Chain A
Amino acid sequence: MNQERDEHARVRAVLVNEAKAFESLVRDYQQLCWHIVSRMVRDPDDARDLCQETFLRVHRQLHQFRFECPLKSWIGRIAYSIALRHLERRRAAPVSLLEDKGELALESLADESFDLEAACADEQIAIRLREGVDALAAVPRTLVTLFHLDELSIAEIATITGMSEGTIKSHLFRARLSLRDWLRRRGVSTP
Chain B
Amino acid sequence: MKTPERSAALGRVLAIETDRLPKDFAAKVAALAKSNSAPWRLSGNDLGLLGAFAAMLCLCAAGWLTFGTQESARAEWFGPIVGAMASCPWLVIGVAGVALVQALNFRRRATT
Contacts and interface: CB of A to CB of B under 8 A. Distances in A.
Nearest to B33: A59
Given A56-B33, A130-B13, A144-B14, A116 B1 contact: no
Given A166-B1, A169-B1, A26 B14 contact: no
Contact of A51 (B11, B25, B30, B32): B25
**What is the size category of the interface that chain B forms with chain A?**
20 to 34
A44 interface: yes
B27 A130 contact: no
A32 to B, nearest CB: 11
B29 A56 contact: yes
Interface of A: 17, 20, 22-24, 26-27, 30-31, 34, 38, 44, 47-48, 51-52, 55-56, 59-60, 103-104, 107, 110-111, 116-117, 119-121, 126, 129-130, 133, 144-145, 147-149, 151, 154, 166, 169-170, 172-173, 176
A147 B4 CA distance: 9
Interface string B11-27: 11111110111100111
A120 B12 contact: yes
B32 A116 contact: no
Contacts of A154: 3
Contacts of A56: 29, 32-33, 36
Contacts of A104: 1
Contacts of B30: 20, 22-23, 26
Contacts of A173: 4
A120 B9 CA distance: 6
B21 A107 contact: no
B9 A121 contact: yes
